[in-house]
Amino acid sequence: MLITIKRFFYLLLIAICSPNIYANNYTLEPVHTQILFFCDHLGFSKSQGEFLKFEGTFSFDPNQPESSSAEVIIHTASIDMDDQKWNDHMKNQDFFDVDKFPTMTFTSTEVESVSPGIMNLHGNLTMLDQTHPVSLKVTHNKSGVHPFSGDYIAGFSASTTIKRSTYGMTYGLPALGDEVEIRLEVEGIKTQ
């Protein structure tokens, strides 16, 4: 018991004296991370799709969010529109041309703190071999030890809107929407 108490005070001392102790690196946890998008379908609805295969890493320090960064690779052939015929169309040359462009990437360039727990994540999105800047509004939902796995988790919600025509994806315009709303629900597992 005495050893446990000494260890507790030792760890507490480290936490107090180390302002960057919360700076950690994370790997995306695929089961609880969703990459969703919504686009106008002929004015009738906002059709929703998602990408099921991706990998990525990020660093995050809640005390210094400006020092955070992120990098994500999305496999375009993993697109899912809940319909096989629609999936096949989204994979062909009209949209993502997955045989020629099997991935798209996001790499952060800057994090801007807006208010506690709210950030603007600026970076470059590469899709169809074209790279353009995008900015996401990010909310830090929670960080802590997962009650079941014991892993240390950081969770976020993020959103942005892009124009697909900026990347050369012009099929169906203007009947099919140009603006694409992107929503991310992210959980990352601490790696160090």
User: What's the pLDDT at 5?
Assistant: 52
Tokens matching residue 131:
């790279």
User: Residue 20: CB partners within 8 Å, gap ≥ 6?
Assistant: 61, 63, 64
- Any idea which residue has 């990437």 for tokens? 105
Residues (pLDDT < 70) of the chain are 1-23
Residue 156, helix vs strand vs coil? strand
User: What's the pLDDT at 47?
Assistant: 96
pTM: 0.85
Which CATH class for the 22-190 domain?
Answer: mainly beta
Distances (CA, A) of 62 to 24, 96, 115, 122: 10, 36, 11, 17
| Domain spans of the chain, in order of start | 22-190
Tokens matching residue 64:
């210094």
Residue type, 58: F
User: What's the pLDDT at 192?
Assistant: 74
